[in-house]
Structure 1
């Protein structure tokens, strides 16, 4: 099975156009930069979602293209939050990693869940999406994760982990093993991100 995954990844690289390859590489790079809490993850992410939107436009996947626009807005908002740490407390020069409260976690999950349900119903009744609830789930949880990332909430990585695990399951079922391999890489980065941000949070609490 591993050889099949590697073969399909290679086939994807051969068959994909330059824009698609660039979008994939920039996507992985952007997540890696986010793990390191680098501001460069925002401009890289903006280029990546722009390229992805162009790909979806070319394929006439207009709902997916619109989602990339929402991601772009979330990235701009996150960029502002990370570069204006004083908005979260006096004399701060860098936005710290923090956790949501128990209530905050429930609210985040509820927003994502209700959003996914309503979005899925809309796609099922008014769109031509073959998998409306899957796409709505990934979109809603992805947008909530972007909002959490803007405020450097540790739970962002759990959000991305859920999205990526769902992606692995879906692409495995349709035997797109190349995408399975890609989403496994995203899972690895999500785990690395959680560990790195948790260490950062613990160091800040010790110093404080």
Structure 2
């Protein structure tokens, strides 16, 4: 058996109970978010609390801070999605080209800033990988609370980046989780895009009638 497969299986075998809870609730909350179900937010709070401890223990300080941010955005997202009556679903919207450009620039600036901060102020061995993934996740989560279509595009990219990072940190179960996240994010993007196009078509029909 190749060494990397042996190491991977060993990491899976040594997965802690806390990581299992974080993994299961993480899959559940992302799946529900893709289905635009409001219960994705309270379930995400459980996953976030688990991973706050896990990432701190593995010196992924950017991700640890990110979990605190996720906690607050989960509370905000729960409130924002629930602002209207349940029968009046919050519509999916899309960023213009100008805002897409600004979003990319914000991710790069934030990622580099976090990378340098982690490099000089912490003992992490992956400052820029941690910083850039944190920045992408930070922006994607905010866009998701506002039901912005492009949030899923960022999630797909960052989930793929996280896989080798977590394998490096011997968090094999979490790496598997992010493979699942990437697949769910792709389906989430497709579902939200279909909803967005249907709403756009319906609004155009009403405005011309």
TM range (shorter): 0.7 to 0.9
Could you say if the C-alpha distance between residues 5 and 192 of structure 1 is closer, same or farther in structure 2, counting changes exceeding 3 Å?
Answer: farther
CA contact (8 A) 2:159 2:179 kept: yes
- 1:189 is matched with 184
Number of the residue aligned with 2:120: 125
TM-score, normalised to structure 1, is 0.84
TM alignment of 1:58-73, pairs within 5 A:
58=57, 63-73=62-72
The correspondence of residues 138-149 of structure 1 with structure 2, limited to 5 A, is 138-149=133-144
Aligned counterpart for 2:93 among listed residues 83, 91, 98: 98
- Determine the C-alpha separation between the residues in 2 that align with 1:157 and 1:132: 24
2:15 aligned partner:
16
What is the aligned partner in structure 1 of residue 108 from structure 2? Answer: 113
Structure 1: any 5+ residue segments left out of the alignment? 87-91
Task: Report the Cα distance in structure 2 between the residues aligned to 1:193 and 1:17, rounded to whole angstroms.
Answer: 29
Over 3 Å counting, the alpha-carbon distance change for 1:63 and 1:134 in structure 2 is closer
- Following superposition, the deviation at residue 66 of structure 1 comes to 2.4
Which range moved further: 162-171 or 53-62? 53-62
Structure 2 unaligned runs (5+)?
Answer: 204-209
Q: Which residue of 2 aligns with 1:160?
A: 155
TM-score (norm 2): 0.84
* Aligned residues of 2:116 and 2:128 also touching (Cα < 8 A): yes
